[in-house]
Amino acid sequence: MTSSDRPFTDGAETEDVAPELNPELDRAEIADAFRRAGRVHIPDILTDASARRLFRTLERETPWGLIFNEGKKTREFEAVSAEDHQEMAIAAWERAHTSFQYFYFYYRLLENRKTHPKPAHYLAKIVAFLTSPQFLGFAREVTGDESIGWISATATLYKPLDFLAVHDEGLTNRDTAHVLNMTPEWKPDWGGALQFYDRDDHIEEGYLPTFNALNLFRVPKRHSVTQVASFGGLRYSISGWFERVAAARPAGGRLA
């Protein structure tokens, strides 16, 4: 039975569990899949207890803000009223007809070597885990990229009608993107898929939101997060890029 098969509880057994990689991962098989396809989906990436603890943090303890773009300008709001949110969303949908657009909720974890969560927050433990020699070593082993020395990460929440339009990443300081899926229940009809496109914008492959799974993929690569259906659920993840040593990423990147 995998972690996503088990019911979620409020039990205290996950209270102080530190984030931890699943020790049973077949690293050689994962690395071979990434080498062949340039991307890989890794189920059960964390131990069951630490995955449950992280989900509880994202669901109940994260101060989500709203992020979207107006052309090349990034707009960020710590809080918005329901009326303002609707007005902003409608304007974003209109812009999406003719130009690149994204609209979702976020909480920045680590950017340009700055940790955003307070030390006592569980998300600070997530930052420590993502920057640990164990996790960065795992990334180097799977991707075959020995230049990986740091990571950027942002928690993301896609609610119904949120989306990230088709785009590419072309900055020179990153070659691999990551998406840590933390969504316990999802249906194909709900949208919210991470999709990859060929040069003619035909869909090559797609990953639905799921629980406790890590997606890695080489960039640049055209991809999107399809719009969550109006009757869909809440899509939780932690997304970002692995970075070369001493590289810094400009703010305002788009995150799956």
pLDDT in tens, the chain (256 residues): 444 454 455 555 557 799 999 999 999 999 999 999 999 999 999 999 999 999 999 999 999 999 999 999 999 999 999 999 999 999 999 999 999 999 999 999 998 888 999 999 999 999 999 999 999 999 999 999 999 999 999 999 999 999 999 998 665 678 999 999 999 999 999 999 999 999 999 999 999 999 999 999 999 999 999 999 999 999 999 999 999 875 444 444 566 7
157, 234 contact by CB (below 8 A): yes
The CA-based diameter of the chain, rounded to the nearest angstrom, is 51
Q: How far apart are CA 20 and CA 17, in angstroms?
A: 9
227, 191 contact by CB (below 8 A): yes
Domain 15-61+108-244 carries which CATH code? 2.60.120.620
Q: How far apart are CA 56 and CA 58, in angstroms?
A: 6
Q: How far apart are CA 67 and CA 64, in angstroms?
A: 10
Q: Where are the domains of the chain?
A: 15-61+108-244
213, 150 contact by CB (below 8 A): no
* The one-letter amino acid at 167: H
The torsion angles phi and psi of 129, rounded to 5 degrees, stand at -65, -45
Q: How far apart are CA 256 and CA 165, in angstroms?
A: 10
Bridging pattern class, strands 211-218 and 39-43: antiparallel
The reported pLDDT for the residue numbered 250 is 44
25, 139 contact by CB (below 8 A): no
State how far the alpha carbon of 123 is from the alpha carbons of 41, 49, 129, 162, in Å: 23, 15, 10, 23
Task: List the end-to-end C-alpha distance of the chain, in Å, as a whole number.
Answer: 27
Q: Which helix (H) or strand (E) holds 241?
A: strand 235-244
Orientation angle between helical segments 133-143 and 27-37, nearest 10 degrees = 50
The reported pLDDT for the residue numbered 171 is 59
Q: How far apart are CA 160 and CA 234, in angstroms?
A: 7
Would the pTM of this model clear 0.75, i.e. be above it?
yes
- Is the peptide bond between 209 and the residue preceding it cis, with omega within 30 degrees of 0? no
Closest CA to 22 of 55, 47, 42: 47
235, 228 contact by CB (below 8 A): yes
Q: How far apart are CA 163 and CA 223, in angstroms?
A: 12
Token pair, residue 146, equals 């020995």
The reported pLDDT for the residue numbered 8 is 57
Q: How far apart are CA 89 and CA 102, in angstroms?
A: 10
The reported pLDDT for the residue numbered 246 is 56
